[in-house]
Structure 1
Amino acid sequence: MTTEQQWNEEQQRVEDVTAVISGRIRRLESEVGSVRGDVVDMRKGFWDEVTINFSEADDVGETSTSLRQQSEILSERERRHKHSTEALGRLRKLLESPYFARIDFAEQGQDAERIYLGIASLLDQQDEEFLIYDWRATISNLYYDHMPGPAAYKTPGGEIEGELTLKRQFSIRHGQIRFMFDTGVTIGDELLQAVLSRSSDAQMKSIVATIQKEQNRIIRDDRSRMLIVQGAAGSGKTSAALQRVAYLLYKYRDRLSADQVVLFSPNPMFNSYVSTVLPELGEENMQQATFQEYLERRLGREFQLEDPFEQLEYVLSASSQPGYEARLEGIRFKSSKTFLHVITGYKAYLEQEGMRFKPVRFQGREVITAEQMIRRFYEFDPAVRLANRLELLRDWMLKELARFGKEECSAPWVDQQMDLMEPEDYQRAYHRMRRKSKNKGDTFDDFTREREILARMVVSDRLKPLRKWIKALRFVDTTRLYSELFLNETLLSQLAEHTELPREWHEISRQTLGRIQAGELAYEDVTPFLYLRELMLGFRSNSNIRHVFIDEAQDYSAFQLTFFKHLFPQAKMTALGDFNQAIYAHASVLQDAEPLYDLYGTEQTELISLTRSYRSTQEIVEFTRGMVVGGEHIIPFNRKGEKPRVTEVPTREKLHQRIAGNIAELLAEGYESIAVICKNADESAAAYEALEGMLPAKPKWIKKTTPAFEKGIHIIPAYLAKGVEFDAVLIYDGSAEQYRRESERKLFYTACTRAMHLLHVYTLGEITPFVSSQESSTYIYTLEKGK
């Protein structure tokens, strides 16, 4: 415990530091206003400072120099304004809460130095000493990784050893210390208890004051090309990843910017949920996207693409439809390492035989046949890569098209088109003819020359789309090539190196070809199809991106992560996930670490496991961890709460009455974020329709297109709740009828682990075995009777 004198001394320091910050803010506000005025005035008077005279060569040069000088001055003022504005923003955040920790560290043979940690550095301009150290500074590792006693931290010049003599934590708001305590562990439980006991927020918050040692390893990992984080539900994977982005932007600020970092998240609502973390730390947000958005940009014009939620809805609700088991087998096979090898081997096969091309047609005639293209393609040196051979074929085709165009100039349709030409077309041809005539030294009033140029212009304009089509390599029939894998079982078996194909392969092939012929691609086909196309035509890679973060990585296949590697060849990758939340039917990349290690090799790959769960109370974790394999390794944080409640009701009407009454009680008790979690979209729609008029506040019906996460009452499918958290979770119907298959175990687990403080499972009839198999002491069961 700290003494009253220590409290007073620390409070006085807070007041001294906030006074320094307030003074800097006042000066910066004045400077920002002044510079902003300069920029506005310069923009308004930019041209007044420049005299333009194009009559003399010297005046033109003088004008150019003047323009350049004015532009440079304006750019310098704008940069200064931007930097001052950013500094002002950081200072305002520091004023609200200047620091959260103090450590006293004595290097060997020296007196202890007091080090205060906050979200940004603050330098005493008189003494040139740090009043506050940025939490990302190397010395800050002492706070996150060590308890009082012998300690060390690494610097570019080597390791600094010494003794950590004090570790103190604060909660400071608006210049006042709310609480303060000394701790003998890495991060004190008292601070975590205070943070975790509060209500959930509409947006994820920074965790810099409560970063745990294992999370600090994730944040500061500089070595790995592939960093894999396997973490239990609520273990802080995403939070640590976002602090990692802030750390990287801080450490490599001279060569890494926010637009060189991209986060792939599970849905648009999640993007909103995490969007404030980096700005809260004084950094710009990185790029955020979903993988589906990328796929739509690449293939959305050619096919109707199924998204992962549509696929999951099918898996959850279509078990009685014919062909269901075949579809599930197809999903698993097409996301497997075996199918990845099939596609890779297919490219090598196509270098020798089997290419398919679309003929070049013009006005119903084949200008270049597919057979000609195949023959020409395989005449090229076999040692030349496939993509390069396609470029050679493209160049040959463009020459063939140009030769065809010359021959076509004398065709009757060309004269017909010339008769229909507008005056401006003739004017364009006239100028073109005049230019060519000058070059050749002859006259341009020749009817034959006029007709020749007009004809060439007509033919060239008509062939322009074909030239563009050929340049884009659209003549490669990727759709036919991908379809061939499902038309030719012998070929597929050969490429699979005689690995046994799925039992329902004929039905899988029928479904796949039927959708392709209808202009559709199932979600499980989208990445393999695009991967095959990129292997042949060359990857459209983005070398500007330096770091790729993939959240909910368990929902990706080996195919998709391999695709990311080719898409971002210069990037390091951080993949975060929990195999116990792998709710999709395809093979999860976290199911077997081998594909992940294969991406960059074991030397460049690091796997960090997070087993402690912080989100939920101890009672909720003890209840949910029994639902999944390996759950005994999940360690609950010591935060007490109510046991989960399980209520069995006899009718749907009674179900809605109980849920509505429960929500009213929770709102009255101060719960700000409540989720009614349903199995799928159809159940969510039905629940919303029934509950909307019964609740004391209007609920929010969450769909896959919902753009933002807000506080309040949410009615949401389980798969959209991933990655977010709620004060209280009410499972709409946790019956054996809804959750009985083994494939639904992880979906139910995911839904239950969204709860921070309270979990209530309602069930229409017999309860799911995922609950009834738990120790009865981990929950409270109530049976409602009557109608």
Structure 2
Amino acid sequence: MSTPVDDSLDPLTRERSHLAESRAALRAMREDVESLDISDVTANWVNAEVLARQIDDRIKALADLSDTPLFFGRLDYLHAPGAEEAEGAQGERFYIGRRHVHDAEGDPMVIDWRAPVSQPFYRASKKDPLDIALRRRFGYTGGDLTAYEDEHLSDPAEAARTSKLLQQEIERPRVGPMRDIVATIQPEQDEIVRSGLGGTVCVQGGPGTGKTAVGLHRVAYLLYAHRERLARTGTLVIGPNRSFLHYIEQVLPALGELSVRQATVDDLVAHVEVRGTDDAAAAVVKGDARMAEVLRRAVYSHVSMPTEPVVVVRGSRRWRVAAYELEETVRELLARDIRYGAAREALPQRIAHAVLVQMERSGEAPDDRVQDAVARNSAVKAAVKAVWPPVDPAKLVLRLLADADFLAVHAEGVLSEDEQKTILWAKPARSVKSAKWSAADAVLIDEAYDIVARTPSLGHVVLDEAQDLSPMQYRAVGRRCTTGSATVLGDLAQGTTPWATRSWEEALAHLGKPEGVIEELTAGFRVPTDVITYASRLLPSIAPGLTPVASIRENPGFFEVRPASSPTGDVVAACEELLRNEGSVGLIAADARVGVLAEALASAGVTCLAPGEETTHQTRLTLVPASLAKGLEYDYVVLDEPQAVVDGEPDERTGLRRLYVALTRAVSGLIVVHAAGVPGPLA
């Protein structure tokens, strides 16, 4: 139904009136939910708890955020229903916003940005107007509507032009956590966001191309389009570290989605406490996909062929299952390639079935209860324990890493002798609890758990900064979505681990999604032209095959490379200079220099935050170790000693990739301060 319009008012006043009415309608929707009385609806306290929680979530989803626009656009359709190219009626208009809002009669006042009727807001163009006569964008200050801008898409006399409001929204200063991009989604981004639930999508995107936002908005879209299914199976967003997850945690709630869990890969595989670290060589071998075969061999090595028959006594009768029959059953279970634990659970039932066959041949008529009783018989249990014993995944990995002979047997033909020596512990631990497990060890234990018992699958998983995962980590994520789909986000040029991904095809294969579609985003919305051009000088050295990001920002940005006379004084001065501007400031430095710079800032009376702490209008400077800069963004960045960032990594290529990440965190301006010169590719 079309939204009523009072044509006696000027356009801006009319739109402000609609905003006020929409806010009142949203408030009424919230009050309706708050007033629900469920005392006579539920049969027991469990149902009451579940329903109360659902109502509470609904109330939170209907929150009207005062500083967030309730709608950001409007579409006026051309044709009436029945026209093949139209979804709307003649003269009908739709206000596009973050969530659906309806009036007391149920008529829509704001349409959810994910609805099919909203799609032309992102896709329509002069070349293909998609039956849209007019697209209107709105400008806001806080939550107040202050401007509008019209595009007459069906008017051939009006030339195509860049939206000023769209450009202003893209270039708006960053203060606080990451925000949604529903008002600025571009056509190529929208295609990825609205791709179906059944397929896995891998997005290669350079700095500032919006790949993280695209992944999060795809989750929001899938929850809108497949809510019931994903409510049953669950969704998960995986990020590289806690600072990153804290930075993005408000995006989905701002879109009304409160049920999506966030975690790191380390969280997923936290079967043991991680207290140790690996050197790069050991971590590379432990992260290699070949370790999956070593683990599989080690697990199944516990199975032994029976040499004695099983004799089951029931009453006055004795039933004997010969050793050769048991062996046939064991070989059949091994050939089925099912989980170790599932096969172990099936074995007593198979033995019991062999006994029941003998009973039937002797004239008895046993039923399922008899079979279950036989399966629980002490003789059967003893045979199963001897032939197919239980396996503790953590103890198994402990033995592999501590027992050279055990590892050699199961790694033969898979790992070289040098690789085996690389991953063996110098001081073997006595128990699982006393072992100083590394992050890579925890992934191995998770793999062993999956060999024993299948890992539950979610409906959809978003994996961000995926380029830094090892093959074994990809496998750990992949088994969390074996029956679901995934959105993989990353940039090969930003891979800073020794095992960094070499190609997305290889990564998707390890993830178990070889059929995944690879999309590339090359339009830069965040990083200014001068900054991304400077950073792209590193691409021939770190990722020769990648297309450089082309910034679409009109503002070229502030950029300067400053030789320093004082290793810390000039850095502090640059920070103080940038803090005079509006927006957040990030001081990024090699990890080894963070302590020195923190002392220098404190001596100068400059307050700073650590990554993950939320910037405010009073405290806008964050001191960021280069190792934690990935995925973060600041209006202005001071980069301290680029050569020190490179030198802080185990090899030059990894160091240059880390530097590429650090250089591309700025939204409005970058100052590079150096006393030791800059690396060769930037000279």
The TM-score bracket by the shorter chain reads 0.7 to 0.9
Per-residue CA shift, 1:222-245, capped at 9, x if unaligned?
154422111111111111111112
C-alpha change, 1:14 and 1:579, in structure 2 (3 Å) is same
Q: CA deviation at 1:342?
A: 4.4
C-alpha change, 1:97 and 1:351, in structure 2 (3 Å) is same
Give, as a single letter, the amino acid of the residue that structure 2 aligns with 1:211.
I
1:324-339 alignment runs, 5 A limit: 327-339=279-291
Give the secondary structure class of the aligned counterpart of 1:18. helix
Answer yes or no: is 1:769 the counterpart of 2:647.
no
Answer yes or no: is 1:197 the counterpart of 2:178.
no
**Partner residue of 1:103?**
75
C-alpha change, 1:115 and 1:642, in structure 2 (3 Å) is closer
Among residues 256, 261, 264, which one is paired with 2:230 in the alignment?
Answer: 256
Per-residue CA shift, 1:51-85, capped at 9, x if unaligned?
xxxxxxxxxxxxxxx99768699779948964873
Q: CA deviation at 1:391?
A: 5.0
Among residues 536, 549, 555, which one is paired with 1:634 in the alignment?
Answer: 549
Answer yes or no: is 1:181 the counterpart of 2:144.
no
Give the secondary structure class of the aligned counterpart of 1:574. strand
Cα distance in structure 2, aligned partners of 1:15 and 1:116: 12
Give, as a single letter, the amino acid of the residue that structure 1 aligns with 2:443.
T
Cα distance in structure 2, aligned partners of 1:7 and 1:205: 36
Q: CA deviation at 1:165?
A: 2.7
**Partner residue of 1:585?**
498
Per-residue CA shift, 1:584-643, capped at 9, x if unaligned?
11142x5351341464455x4111111112111111111111212345532112332345
The 8 Å contact of residues 535 and 664 in structure 2, kept in 1 or not, is answered as: yes
C-alpha change, 1:80 and 1:610, in structure 2 (3 Å) is closer
Among residues 708, 716, 721, which one is paired with 2:624 in the alignment?
Answer: 716
Give the secondary structure class of the aligned counterpart of 1:758. strand
Cα distance in structure 1, aligned partners of 2:261 and 2:436: 29
The 8 Å contact of residues 148 and 165 in structure 1, kept in 2 or not, is answered as: no
Give, as a single letter, the amino acid of the residue that structure 1 aligns with 2:506.
E
Task: Return 21-30 or 287-296, whichever deviates more.
Answer: 21-30
Answer yes or no: is 1:693 the counterpart of 2:667.
no
Q: CA deviation at 1:281?
A: 1.5
Answer yes or no: is 1:522 the counterpart of 2:522.
no
Per-residue CA shift, 1:736-775, capped at 9, x if unaligned?
7954822211000001111111111122223222421xxx
Q: CA deviation at 1:524?
A: 3.3
C-alpha change, 1:646 and 1:631, in structure 2 (3 Å) is farther
Cα distance in structure 1, aligned partners of 2:47 and 2:453: 43
Q: CA deviation at 1:575?
A: 1.3
The 8 Å contact of residues 583 and 746 in structure 1, kept in 2 or not, is answered as: yes
**Partner residue of 2:96?**
117
Cα distance in structure 2, aligned partners of 1:233 and 1:188: 22
Cα distance in structure 1, aligned partners of 2:537 and 2:8: 44
Cα distance in structure 2, aligned partners of 1:762 and 1:224: 48
The 8 Å contact of residues 174 and 635 in structure 2, kept in 1 or not, is answered as: yes
Give, as a single letter, the amino acid of the residue that structure 2 aligns with 1:178.
A
Give the secondary structure class of the aligned counterpart of 1:282. coil
Cα distance in structure 2, aligned partners of 1:106 and 1:683: 61
**Partner residue of 1:222?**
196
**Partner residue of 2:474?**
561
C-alpha change, 1:495 and 1:7, in structure 2 (3 Å) is farther
Cα distance in structure 2, aligned partners of 1:554 and 1:14: 45
**Partner residue of 1:440?**
none
Answer yes or no: is 1:237 the counterpart of 2:211.
yes
Per-residue CA shift, 1:20-68, capped at 9, x if unaligned?
3354356457656655xx67xx6xxxxxxxxxxxxxxxxxxxxxxx997
Give, as a single letter, the amino acid of the residue that structure 2 aligns with 1:542.
P
Give, as a single letter, the amino acid of the residue that structure 1 aligns with 2:593.
E
C-alpha change, 1:240 and 1:22, in structure 2 (3 Å) is closer
**Partner residue of 2:413?**
494
Per-residue CA shift, 1:267-303, capped at 9, x if unaligned?
212222112112212221511111222333x122xxx
Cα distance in structure 2, aligned partners of 1:472 and 1:742: 42
C-alpha change, 1:684 and 1:348, in structure 2 (3 Å) is same
Cα distance in structure 2, aligned partners of 1:475 and 1:669: 53
Give, as a single letter, the amino acid of the residue that structure 1 aligns with 2:530.
E
The 8 Å contact of residues 635 and 667 in structure 2, kept in 1 or not, is answered as: yes
Cα distance in structure 2, aligned partners of 1:612 and 1:116: 27
Give the secondary structure class of the aligned counterpart of 2:249. coil
Cα distance in structure 2, aligned partners of 1:722 and 1:330: 24
Give the secondary structure class of the aligned counterpart of 1:668. coil
**Partner residue of 1:21?**
22
Give, as a single letter, the amino acid of the residue that structure 2 aligns with 1:147.
S
Among residues 178, 182, 185, which one is paired with 1:208 in the alignment?
Answer: 182
Unaligned runs of 5+ in 1: 43-65, 153-162, 312-326, 354-376, 396-469, 773-787
Q: CA deviation at 1:523?
A: 3.2
**Partner residue of 1:146?**
124
Q: CA deviation at 1:209?
A: 0.7
Among residues 531, 538, 542, which one is paired with 2:456 in the alignment?
Answer: 542
**Partner residue of 2:381?**
none
1:109-508 alignment runs, 5 A limit: 111=90, 113-125=92-104, 129-150=107-128, 152=130, 163-172=131-140, 174=143, 176-182=145-151, 188-257=162-231, 260-296=234-270, 298-300=271-273, 304-306=274-276, 327-344=279-296, 381-385=330-334, 386-388=340-342, 390=344, 473=392, 477-483=396-402, 489=408, 492-495=411-414, 501=416, 505=419, 508=422
What is the RMSD of the two structures over their aligned residues, measured on CA atoms? 4.0
Give the secondary structure class of the aligned counterpart of 2:623. strand
Cα distance in structure 2, aligned partners of 1:708 and 1:594: 36
Give, as a single letter, the amino acid of the residue that structure 2 aligns with 1:591.
S
The 8 Å contact of residues 285 and 419 in structure 2, kept in 1 or not, is answered as: no
Give the secondary structure class of the aligned counterpart of 1:700. coil
Give, as a single letter, the amino acid of the residue that structure 2 aligns with 1:139.
V
Answer yes or no: is 1:575 the counterpart of 2:484.
no
The 8 Å contact of residues 297 and 410 in structure 2, kept in 1 or not, is answered as: no
Among residues 662, 666, 675, which one is paired with 1:751 in the alignment?
Answer: 662
**Partner residue of 1:675?**
586
Give the secondary structure class of the aligned counterpart of 2:486. strand
**Partner residue of 1:621?**
532
Cα distance in structure 2, aligned partners of 1:393 and 1:679: 57
> Greater CA radius of gyration, 1 or 2?
1
The 8 Å contact of residues 290 and 414 in structure 2, kept in 1 or not, is answered as: no
**Partner residue of 2:323?**
none
**Partner residue of 2:314?**
none
The 8 Å contact of residues 617 and 638 in structure 1, kept in 2 or not, is answered as: yes
The 8 Å contact of residues 678 and 718 in structure 1, kept in 2 or not, is answered as: yes
Unaligned runs of 5+ in 2: 1-5, 154-158, 306-325, 335-339, 350-388
**Partner residue of 1:451?**
none
- Number of matched residues? 593
The 8 Å contact of residues 292 and 472 in structure 2, kept in 1 or not, is answered as: yes
Give the secondary structure class of the aligned counterpart of 2:229. coil
**Partner residue of 1:741?**
652
Cα distance in structure 2, aligned partners of 1:350 and 1:171: 67
Answer yes or no: is 1:726 the counterpart of 2:634.
yes
| Identity fraction in percent | 22
Cα distance in structure 1, aligned partners of 2:390 and 2:450: 16
The 8 Å contact of residues 122 and 132 in structure 1, kept in 2 or not, is answered as: yes
The 8 Å contact of residues 202 and 504 in structure 2, kept in 1 or not, is answered as: no
**Partner residue of 2:386?**
none
Cα distance in structure 1, aligned partners of 2:47 and 2:202: 47
**Structure with the largest fraction of helix:** 1
Cα distance in structure 2, aligned partners of 1:33 and 1:519: 52
Cα distance in structure 2, aligned partners of 1:212 and 1:520: 48
Among residues 574, 584, 588, which one is paired with 1:662 in the alignment?
Answer: 574
The 8 Å contact of residues 104 and 165 in structure 1, kept in 2 or not, is answered as: yes
Cα distance in structure 2, aligned partners of 1:489 and 1:83: 54
C-alpha change, 1:68 and 1:566, in structure 2 (3 Å) is closer
Give the secondary structure class of the aligned counterpart of 1:745. helix
Give, as a single letter, the amino acid of the residue that structure 1 aligns with 2:209.
S
Cα distance in structure 2, aligned partners of 1:95 and 1:203: 14
